[in-house]
Amino acid sequence: MNPQTAVNAASLAQPVIIATRESRLALWQAEHVRDRLLADLGLRADLLGMTTRGDQILDRSLSKVGGKGLFVKELELALESGQAHLAVHSLKDVPMELPEGFSLVAVMEREDPRDAFVSNHYDNLDALPQGACVGTSSLRRVVQLKARRPDLRIEPLRGNLDTRLRKLDEGGYDAIVLAAAGLKRLGLANRIRSVFEVDQMIPCAGQGALGLEVRTGQVALAAALQAFVHQPTWLATHAERAVSRALGGSCSVPLAAHAVIDAAGVLHLDVALGHAGDPSQPLLKGHQQGLVSTTAEAEALGEAAAASLRALGGDAYLAGSAAL
């Protein structure tokens, strides 16, 4: 710990209270941040577990019940009331626009951003027999699966990771698709039969990364949390999130956006947009790349990628998705 950090830390209320959902993955992530606060910054932290609407509504697709904000709202209420100081989120569950008064102050180094193919019988998508049943409730995954395998029967699958794996094991599906990051964090990497390469299944904006949110104006805490910002992940995820924001960024849009920064500082951004209303429509795809070193430059690249999707006819796709 450097002395400057220690001085900043000393001025903070302790313990730092971390608001978190109570799924096993959310707890793992919050504990990870708690442990790093202590190890890297000498700050004591405790968890405040909460249940969100997104955890309660399990029988409907999230795209139908209000989308991503459902996982973060209760945590924000805890920040607002002062019950908690910090919320730890899977960045991909964080809406593109935070409500007034809240700030995303750090994005930590990302885990594997790819999607995983999980099955008890088949090694990968190509090995699935004609008409096999695949579980996922993500429109982004549905349209990319359908693009490669129009014959598949895709069935809804919700719940936390353990629930989804149990539903697979009970025989309800031939395979399911999950984020590799969540499985790895929970020590379930052995369940992954294969990972989809990014060009086969472009991940969701922010997939695999953790976002840290505080109330705007928590200057000392925000400053301390800068120690956790992983700049390549910050820039990549801001480019990805800018694509989603520019296209109206809700769960009802089957949008994929994934960026990486190479050693030379060039950000490579891949995007894909599907038609939720008519999966037989071809995926629209785009790519942008450029040297970026600031958040604004990363976001500009994301906006250019969104514009390229619109130029391919993306507005009709977005209108079709909104009608669902």
Ligand X SMILES: NCc1[nH]cc(CCC(=O)O)c1CC(=O)O
Catalytic residues: 93
Cα 4 off chain centre by: 33
DSSP string, 233-291: HHHHHHHHHHHHHHTT--TTS-EEEEEEE-TTSEEEEEEEE--SS-TTSPPEEEEEEEE
Stretch touching ligand X by CB under 6 A, among 14-22, 175-183, 233-241, 266-274: 175-183
69 is a contact residue toward ligand X (CB under 6 A):
no
CB of 113 to ligand X, least distance (A): 7
Q: Which is nearer to ligand X, 207 or 250 (CB)?
A: 207
Note the maximum CA span of the chain. 63
- Return the SS3 of 142: helix
Q: Which of 41, 87, 93, 272 binds ligand X (CB under 6 A)?
A: 93
Stretch touching ligand X by CB under 6 A, among 88-96, 235-243, 258-266, 269-277: 88-96
Q: Which is nearer to ligand X, 88 or 301 (CB)?
A: 88
Q: Which of 67, 208, 211, 314 binds ligand X (CB under 6 A)?
A: 208
179 is a contact residue toward ligand X (CB under 6 A):
yes
Contact, 271 vs 255, CB < 8 A?
yes
Stretch touching ligand X by CB under 6 A, among 94-102, 176-184, 214-222, 315-323: 176-184
* CA atoms within 13 A of residue 251's CA, in its CB half-sphere: 19
Peptide bond into 99 cis (omega under 30): no
Phi, psi of 177 (to 5 degrees): -120, 130
182 is a contact residue toward ligand X (CB under 6 A):
yes
Q: Which is nearer to ligand X, 207 or 288 (CB)?
A: 207
Contacts of 271 (CB under 8 A, 6+ apart): 202, 243, 255, 256, 257, 258, 285, 286, 287, 288, 305, 306, 308, 309
CB of 182 to ligand X, least distance (A): 3
Which residue shows structure tokens 């109206």?
Answer: 248
Q: How many residues bind ligand X (CB under 6 A)?
A: 9
Q: Which is nearer to ligand X, 218 or 237 (CB)?
A: 237
Contact, 84 vs 75, CB < 8 A?
yes
Stretch touching ligand X by CB under 6 A, among 39-47, 86-94, 167-175, 259-267: 86-94
- Give the binding site for ligand X (CB under 6 A): 90, 92-93, 178-179, 181-182, 207-208
